[in-house]
Amino acid sequence: MAATAQDSQAPLRGPEKKDEDREDETEFSPFYGIDKGAVLQEARVFNDPQIDPRRCQQVITKLLYLLNQGEVFTKKEAAEVFFGVTKLFQKQDINLRRMMYLCIKDICPGADEVIIVTSSLMKDMNSKVDLFRSNSVRVLCKIIDGQLLAQIERYLKQAIVDKSPVVASAALVSASHLLGNNAEIVKRWINEVQEAAQNKNNMVQFHAVALLHALRASDRLAISKLVTSLTKASVKSPLAQCLLVRYVAQVIQDSQPGANGEQRPFYDFLESCLRHKAEVVIFEAARAICNLRDVTARELTPAITVLQLFLSSSKPVLRFAAVRTLNKVAMTHPLAVTHCNIDMETLISDQNRSIATLAITTLLKTGNESSVEKLLKQIGSFMSDIADDFKIVVVEAIRSLCLKFPTKQRALMNFLSGVLREEGGFEYKKAIVQSILVLIQEIPDAKETGLGHLCEFIEDCEFTYLSTQVLHLLGQEGPKTKEPSKYIRYIYNRIILENATVRAAAVSALANFGAACEPLRPRIIVLLRRALADNDDEVRDRATLHLQQLEGKAGGPDAVQPRLDVNITAMEKALSDYLAGPTDKPFDISVVPKAPPPVRASGSSALGLATSTATNSSGGAAPTSAARKDPTAEYAELLRSIPQLAPLGEVFKSCEPVALTEKDTEYSVFCVKHVYEGHVVFQFNCTNTIAEQVLEDVSVAMDLAEASDFEEAFTVPLDQMPLNGVGQCFTVVTRQPGAIATGKIVNILKFKVKEIDPSTGEAEEEGYEDEYVLEDLEVSPADYVKPTLLGNFRKAWEELDPATEKEDEYGLGTREGLQEAVEAVIGILGMQPCEGSEAVPPNARSHTVLLAGIFVGYQQVLVRMSFGIDATNNVAMKLVVRAESIELSEAIHSIIQDA
Amino acid sequence: MAGVDPTLPIVKNMLLLDSEGKRIAVKYYTPEWSTVAQQASFEKALWNKTSRTNARAEAEIIMFDNVVVVYKYIGDLMFYVTGSQDENELVLYTVLQAFYESVTILLRQQVEKKTVLENLDLVLLAIDEIVDGGIILETEPAVIASRVTMRGADGEAPAAPLTEQSFTKAFASAKEHLARSLLK
């Protein structure tokens, strides 16, 4: 693949050939001291009138060796070699010819050169020698384009049904590759491919079945037919049988789940494959059964039985395959896997550490309460000799086991603290600490022991990051325990022994104790005093501040842990604004907008810790749209900074930017709609893309003929449209306060143009007025609704007056799938999906989505949508809305009707 | 590689490294490792993770960086076959078997770095006969070997005895011919 010219990477073989130490070792190599220039020189033998086949073969091998070592040939060098090789076609030496085929595939410079070999290759395609035919087909299909393909199509069709398997296979595999770019041509060969699928040769059958499936991949019905006919016919080749198992699994996946107890179609076939004589088929079938959607315990049993046999195989590959599959099953059906526990236990001591780790984690998933201690003992002996990344897997499995059996927390916690004391890298230690933190949070009983273990850990912790995290947590949780005083010693030791970062964290943690536990305060003050002479300024600063606070000054003890409930980005903005202006008055924090109360995410976020690893490993992929970013907060700062807009009040919602110009025009304008209680502010982000002109005094005039509910109030013009930067002008319209006014607005960009004199680079004094018509802008009801988070959808739904309920049905036309339809509708409504209902289960035929939003004026709207999809991907939707008034319900329906 | 049916088993690469992890013959079929540097770092990582394991008696397996690799050591050589992590491990194992067994036949049981380098053309051709652009082309070692040496295309599984038989047959008929011509 790194064959030809473009790659500028140095060859792997680089300096080594000059390395004297390696001499004795490389000297037996026929390639010792090989040099690209010399080999290219040698390649001239291709042009000799008397061709020496043996010699040429050696030169080709050398060339391929160089390529394989990552040597780069320039385009010219490659072309030269290529031409040389093509000359060798006149020699009828079979071994040389074979090397030529390989060489042409690896050094193929470009379409222009290809022409030269096609006629020779086409001659070989009609040769009597099977191997000439097969190889020339492979080479030709690799290097030709669609046009040439049409010319040789006839021969390829013949080759597919050639009685020599090597030719048929070559043609079929080549056709599979060609399918990507020349699907139309390959589709014409379907009869030949079908014939080849009956071939007695295993590989031909495999290649033909694969190609048949690929040809029909987009048509569910055709696939289903193909599968039915293939399962009836006898497919002999194990690899083809594996393919068939995959196709069957796919058909089952796509079919409707049968009613209770009814057997799935084709399940019998999968089960019969479990008795196939080839292991590869048996495993493929077992794997397919284990991966079935909503598989029942009864369906699983035969598959688990064969996998169990594989567990005691002498082949590591088989053991690995089996234990990996069982490990996956154990997540959903732990009971089904318990039969294998004895075999699993012997695998703990497997030579292959991947197998051992998988066995351990499977056991941890399937284990019951009584076997926990025994397991831990076994793992303990095993932990010391596996790599860190395996240890992390084990630690995570232990954590989930502990959450499953909280009564065993003592044993599990002890285990974790034991491994925490052992040697290990940062990632591993971090995983352990995170696990303990999660357990502390989730299991109240584990808190005191957990904190105790963590205290021990920081006594001898080489990772600053982890020490500070633990200290922070001690500061948060320690004061709430029964005996806070016992933690103080550990924390104070940090101040004496550690680096500045940890010392600072320790000072803050101590101060927390002092603030929260009054009896301890005098003692804490004594300790903090000692930190006043610290040689790090941050530590001294913190100590000084906290001392003052504990002594009742600077806000008193309550101020030790100030609760900053402000929006952090807004805070940053406000602070930088403050520093930019006069600083004679103190900064007033009350102007910074408050942040919404933090949503308590899963994992340990409440403990102030990064939860990324925790949530990822627990398999809970956070719903994507839950993290939908809120543009309103970002724009709010900008809007507040404009004096003319400030009196309008709080912005309710800012919409996504809409482009009002085509791409690559002179001016690029995007519009962002901001909805206020009684106004709508249109923010136009303007960019000048032409360097030869200056655009001044930019504003947007609106024609409100088709939006009579609005009345233009005023505009905030932009002094100069920046070149390739973004400048904003605003147009403000009024409407009835709280009203959902809609309509289409025609926008005209007005500005004064000044040409730039190319000789001086200065703008001309005199400019002229100009206008530019922008695209129309639509204000729809969707602009007045914004997503809101809701704890309990059902409760909120029932609280709304049923009289406001409005129901209607809509056809959404043909869609790619339900998920796509659901996302499209959510996008149109701009509301917040609740309870994870925006995720459609794979292959579902119907789905219900719950949405919550608020309309301008803070009125709640709830939506319940039911989707259904039919065989031709037509999607229908039933939309039920409840809101605080019937008008709002109607507005929601009108959003959908207009979309 | 782009348009290939996702159900089709795909081999991502085949590697033959020496006992120090240096490449002897490699072939990459998928775009994950498109530069020589990426390939080299993959080979290095793979070698680091596998060189201390014992894969002589039986082929071993490892999963890392979202790929599954099956491998086997013979003499001072390490054979690797890589597939996606969702691939049927046994399919990859079949390819690995085809790889080292066909090389064993081609090198007449002399599987070591020295002979491989001396017969590099045969090893490269074997790789070419086993996998074509990621798709498994042939897995029967005897068939692969006879295709590499251009001795016969459709060498069915028992290729060696068959040719022997035909040779004795041919010899017999030649003798007959000779006898007849002499009798004339």
The enclosing H or E element of A687 equals strand A679-688
How many whole angstroms separate alpha carbon A254 and alpha carbon A241?
Answer: 20
- Residues from chain B that touch A164, judged by Cβ atoms under 8 A, are 153-154
A317–B59 CB contact, under 8 Å: yes
Angle at A160 between CA A156 and CA A165, to 5 degrees: 130
Tell me the nearest-neighbour CA distance from B146 into chain A, angstroms: 10
How many whole angstroms separate alpha carbon A235 and alpha carbon A197?
Answer: 9
CB environment A599-614: b (16+ within 10 A), e (fewer): eeeebbbebebebebb
Q: What is the pLDDT of residue B170?
A: 63
How many whole angstroms separate alpha carbon B9 and alpha carbon B92?
Answer: 9
DSSP string covering A411-437, please? HHHHHHHHHHHS---HHHHHHHHHHHH
Q: What is the pLDDT of residue A632?
A: 67
> Quick check: B94 contacting A, CB < 8 Å?
yes
Q: What is the pLDDT of residue B90?
A: 94
> Quick check: A54 contacting B, CB < 8 Å?
no
pLDDT of A595 above 70: no
> Quick check: A78 contacting B, CB < 8 Å?
no
Q: What is the pLDDT of residue A614?
A: 34
Two tokens at B153? Answer: 């295309």
Tokens 């809970």 sit at which residue? A620
- Residues from chain B that touch A165, judged by Cβ atoms under 8 A, are 153-154
Mutual orientation of helices A426-442 and A446-459 as an angle, nearest 10°?
A: 150
Q: What is the pLDDT of residue A257?
A: 59
Say what the ipTM of the complex is: 0.84
Please state which CATH number belongs to domain B11-152.
3.30.450.60
Nearest to A180 among B3, B53, B135 (CB): B3
Categorize the per-residue pLDDT at A167 as very low, low, confident or very high, splitting at 50, 70 and 90: very high
Q: What is the pLDDT of residue A27?
A: 53
**Fold of the A782-898 domain:** TATA-Binding Protein (3.30.310)
Q: What is the pLDDT of residue A208?
A: 93
CB A635 within 8 A of CB A654: yes
| Alpha helices per DSSP H over A725-841 | 793-799, 818-829
Tokens 């021969």 sit at which residue? A155
The ranges of chain B with pLDDT < 70 are 1-4, 153-184
Nearest to B117 among A12, A31, A243 (CB): A31
> Quick check: A32 contacting B, CB < 8 Å?
no
Coil, helix or strand for A693? strand
- Please tell me which residue of chain A has the smallest CA distance to B29: A1
pLDDT of A483 above 50: yes
- What average pLDDT does the structure give for chain A? 80
How many whole angstroms separate alpha carbon A667 and alpha carbon A689?
Answer: 6
> Quick check: B137 contacting A, CB < 8 Å?
yes
Tell me the nearest-neighbour CA distance from A280 into chain B, angstroms: 5
Q: What residues contact residue A152 under an 8 Å CB cut-off, 6+ apart?
A: A122, A125, A140, A144
Nearest to B154 among A164, A239, A352 (CB): A164
Scanning A348-377 for CB atoms below 8 A from B yields 351-352, 354
- Please tell me which residue of chain B has the smallest CA distance to A287: B88
Two tokens at A259? Answer: 């009613």
Nearest to A214 among B5, B61, B124 (CB): B5
> Quick check: B75 contacting A, CB < 8 Å?
no
- Please tell me which residue of chain B has the smallest CA distance to A310: B90
Scanning A151-210 for CB atoms below 8 A from B yields 164-167, 169-170, 173-174, 176-177, 179-181, 183, 201, 203, 206-207, 210
CB environment B31-70: b (16+ within 10 A), e (fewer): ebbeebeebbebbeebbebbeebebeebbbbbeeeebbbb
Q: Is the dihedral of CA A223, A224, A229, A235 positive or negative?
A: positive
Q: What is the pLDDT of residue A454?
A: 87
Question: What are A822-828's contacts with CB under 8 Å, separation 24+?
Answer: A822/A847, A822/A849, A822/A865, A822/A867, A825/A849, A825/A865, A825/A877, A825/A896, A826/A625, A826/A851, A828/A782, A828/A895, A828/A896, A828/A899
pLDDT of A29 above 80: no
Tell me the nearest-neighbour CA distance from B127 into chain A, angstroms: 10
Taking only the tens place, the pLDDT of each residue in A417-466 is 888 888 778 888 888 888 888 888 888 888 888 888 888 888 888 888 88
- What average pLDDT does the structure give for chain B? 84
CB A270 within 8 A of CB A284: no
- Residues from chain A that touch B129, judged by Cβ atoms under 8 A, are none
Please state which CATH number belongs to domain A637-779.
2.60.40.1480
Angle at B108 between CA B103 and CA B110, to 5 degrees: 80
Two tokens at A482? Answer: 């029964």
Nearest to B7 among A30, A164, A247 (CB): A247
Two tokens at A896? Answer: 């959908």
User: What is the average pLDDT across A660-682?
Assistant: 83
Mutation site, A315, A317, A352, interface B, largest B CB count within 10 A: A317
CB A169 within 8 A of CB A207: yes
> Quick check: B35 contacting A, CB < 8 Å?
yes
Tell me the nearest-neighbour CA distance from B4 into chain A, angstroms: 7
Taking only the tens place, the pLDDT of each residue in A118-129 is 888 888 888 888
A28–B114 CB contact, under 8 Å: yes
User: What is the average pLDDT across A309-326?
Assistant: 93
Two tokens at A520? Answer: 């301890």
Tell me the nearest-neighbour CA distance from A220 into chain B, angstroms: 14
Q: What is the pLDDT of residue A698?
A: 86
Q: Classify strands A777-779 and A743-755 as parallel, antiparallel or unpaired.
A: antiparallel
CB B120 within 8 A of CB A65: yes
Sorted by where each begins, the domain ranges of chain A are 463-563, 564-596, 637-779, 782-898
- Please tell me which residue of chain A has the smallest CA distance to B143: A166
Tokens 């004064």 sit at which residue? A752
- Please tell me which residue of chain B has the smallest CA distance to A134: B153
Coil, helix or strand for A750? strand
% of chain A with per-residue pLDDT over 90? 10
User: What is the average pLDDT across A851-877?
Assistant: 84
Query: Amino acid identity, residue A154?
Result: R
Q: Is the dihedral of CA A521, A523, A529, A535 positive or negative?
A: negative
